[in-house]
Amino acid sequence: MVQRFCVTLIVDLSTDRRRAHQGLPLPGRRSHGDIPKSCPRIRDRPLGDNGGVNTAASPPADVWVDERLVVRDSPIDGRGLFVTHAVPAGTVVIGLAGRLVTSAELEALIASAEADPAAPYVDTITIDDDGHLVLPPDTTIHFCNHSCDPTLWHAGPYELAALRDLRTGEEVTIDYATQSGAARFVMTCRCQSARCRGRVSSEDWRLPELQARYHEHWVPALQRRIDSH
């Protein structure tokens, strides 16, 4: 199942670019144009090689989204991703892709985007201490919201899997703290879960309860910090 679409996202550019710079996927946003109600496995264009980033694991060229994930209005923020059928624990439902850039290259990308208000935001997650995955700008992965009681976690640098069995109609979410390694990142959380921390930061990897809860399901940069702490 292959589907390609392009949309222009209407966003708060200053806020979202700061969040992109901080290594986070954006919360759900409404788009200019129609977002398909069902976006099965999405394949996007290759985004090139890793540039100057030295990493043992290169990202895939194509984003992959399980056919059971669809975009719907979210009680957390804007729009989110929801499952249309039950998903067993451990199932990989999102494959991240794009190109890796260094911190200096990311700074240049952010500066260039901010100089052009019409440019799409730069959306990234942290992979290595000096390696950031720049995600394609036109896929449904941008609708994956944060939760302090997430339903997904990292099964690898570029794979998101069901943390537990998912029921039909549940929203798929991830704890942004498990993939944001940028200094000084702080966001207010509105996930409304019983585990809501109220505040999410790039220093949350230091919390013993999160280290125990997520075990080794962090991006490599944060896992190394935990292992050496």
In tens, the pLDDT along 66-81 reads 999 999 999 999 999 9
Of 3-12, 42-51, 56-65, 158-167, the range with the highest mean pLDDT is: 158-167
Output the pLDDT for position 10.
Answer: 26
The pTM for the full model equals: 0.74
Report whether 51 contacts 99 (CB < 8 A): yes
| pLDDT of res. 52 | 40
**According to the model, what pLDDT value does residue 124 have?**
82
Task: Give the list of residues 6+ apart from residue 183 with CB closer than 8 angstroms, or none.
Answer: 202
CA distances, 214 to each of 168, 177, 223 (Å): 23, 11, 10
Residue 49: the pLDDT is: 43
pLDDT tens track for 165-191: 999 999 999 999 999 887 777 899 999
Please report the pLDDT score of residue 137 as a whole number: 83
pLDDT at residue 72 in the model: 96
Angle formed by the axes of helices 103-115 and 13-21, nearest 10°: 170
Query: Which residues are registered as beta bridge partners of 47?
Result: none
Q: Is the dihedral of CA 197, 91, 61, 225 positive or negative?
A: positive
pLDDT of 25 over the 50 cut: no
Which domains, ranges and CATH numbers included, belong to the chain? 8-228 (2.170.270.10)
pLDDT of residue 38: 33
Q: What's the CA gap between 28 and 78, in Å, rounded?
A: 5
User: If DSSP codes are grouped into helix, strand and coil, which group holds residue 143?
Assistant: helix
